[in-house]
């Protein structure tokens, strides 16, 4: 019998578990992991953890201070469970403020240092707005690694590569969601999946231009999307789809390879070009704005919780 698809995928792609649950991280032993408001909200449901978060919240200067303090405490715990990066988000509220993003990123790195976690282990997670990408450029020059998230377009990917970011997270499933809503009768299976096509275009552009930015496909809706991107630098996959791949046997073919990319000279994208391309791409514009709003919805819930804990 042929090996399972997950085992074969791990031979050609770094597999990351798409979960913020600490127990799931222990179980799946991913290379990288993340901390975010959703994770902290989940953690707060545990009595012992809630008590600790309350202690941190009461010691904090304000809610922003409390947000960063709890994120770094849980991120530091996660860093002991994974060998690779721990991504930690800068507040989505700062997605259009380069200077504020830089200040928050520096604060997070300093906090991790006090917990004994060096900057080489951390990815500062920032939305792929023009302002976020500019902040990432500066952070990378300072030796601080970045993860540019909410990425839906080629223009975003090109600007991120020009900025020298460490990793991008193109959202395969959310791209598919938008196209299905626009054309509910269309066939988006297999090679027709617009999210898969987007990641392939980005991957080939990066490899052809010699960019070192890691492409990590994310937000998968089905295992077929994962199979179609076998060979991508990294893929972050939900526990449910990891289980499905582990239980499926057959031959997995590499679909992406740096050796197949045509080498070309890079053509940097300036701000005017970036904003024009985003304006022309309704899907990317709408999904980026929606994604920032959803990130903030979780953060507001966490802010409310921390305010309550400060008063207990």
Is pLDDT at 248 greater than 80 in this prediction? yes
Cross-strand pairs, 127: 149
What is the DSSP track for 50-81? HHHHHHHHHHSSSHHHHHHHHHHHHHHHHHTT
Instruction: Pick the closest to residue 146 from 173, 119, 118 (CA basis).
Output: 119
| pLDDT higher than 80, residue 78 | yes
pLDDT, mean of residues 146-174: 97
Going across the sheet that includes 33-35, the strands are 14-17, 234-237, 214-217, 167-170, 145-151, 122-127, 86-89, 33-35
List the domain boundaries for the chain. 5-311
Residues 6+ apart with CB under 8 A from 44: 50, 53, 305
At 90, phi and psi to the nearest 5? -85, 145
Inter-residue contact 304 to 72 (CB < 8 Å): no
Question: Catalytic: which of 10, 125, 287, 294?
Answer: 125
Task: Single out the residue of 171, 174, 113, 107 nearest to residue 139, CA to CA.
Answer: 107
The predicted structure's pLDDT at residue 34: 82
Over residues 28-41, the pLDDT tens digits come to 788 888 888 887 88
pLDDT attached to residue 16: 85
pLDDT over 90 percentage in the chain = 77
Q: What is the pLDDT of residue 137?
A: 98
Q: Domain 5-311: which CATH class?
A: alpha beta
Section 215-236 average pLDDT: 96
pLDDT at 24: 79
pLDDT tens digit sequence for 208-219 = 899 999 999 999
Nearest to 155 by CA among 235, 268, 261: 268
Instruction: Output b/e per residue, 67-84; b: 16+ Cβ within 10 A.
Output: bbbbbbbbbbbbbeebee
Catalytic status, residue 10: no
Q: Is the pLDDT of residue 125 over 90?
A: yes
């Amino acid at each position: 019998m042929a090996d399972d698809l997950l085992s074969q995928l791990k031979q050609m792609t770094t597999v990351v578990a798409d979960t913020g649950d600490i127990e799931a991280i222990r179980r799946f032993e991913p290379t990288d992991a993340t901390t975010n408001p959703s994770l902290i909200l989940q953690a707060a449901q545990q009595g012992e953890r809630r008590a600790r978060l309350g202690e941190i919240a009461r010691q904090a200067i304000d809610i922003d201070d409390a947000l960063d303090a709890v994120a770094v405490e849980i991120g530091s715990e996660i860093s002991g469970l994974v060998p690779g990066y721990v991504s930690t988000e800068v507040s989505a509220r700062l997605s259009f403020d380069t200077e504020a993003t830089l200040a928050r990123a520096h604060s997070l790195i300093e906090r991790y240092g006090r917990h004994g976690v060096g900057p080489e282990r951390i990815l500062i997670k920032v939305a792929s707005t023009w302002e976020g990408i500019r902040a990432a450029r500066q952070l990378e020059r300072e030796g601080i690694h970045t993860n540019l998230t909410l990425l839906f377009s080629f223009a975003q990917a090109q600007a991120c590569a020009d900025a020298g970011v460490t990793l991008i997270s193109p959202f395969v499933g959310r791209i598919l969601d938008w196209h299905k809503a626009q054309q509910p009768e269309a066939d988006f299976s297999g090679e027709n999946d617009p999210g898969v096509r987007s990641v392939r275009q980005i991957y080939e552009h990066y490899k052809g231009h010699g960019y070192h930015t890691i492409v990590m496909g994310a937000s998968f809706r089905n295992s077929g999307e994962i199979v179609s991107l076998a060979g991508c630098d990294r893929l972050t996959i939900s526990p449910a789809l990891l289980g499905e791949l582990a239980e499926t046997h057959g031959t997995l073919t590499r679909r992406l390879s740096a050796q197949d990319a045509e080498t070309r000279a890079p053509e940097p994208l300036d701000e005017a070009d970036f904003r024009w391309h985003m304006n022309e791409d309704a899907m990317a514009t709408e999904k980026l704005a929606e994604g920032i709003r959803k990130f903030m919805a979780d953060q507001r819930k966490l802010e409310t919780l921390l305010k309550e804990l400060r008063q207990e």
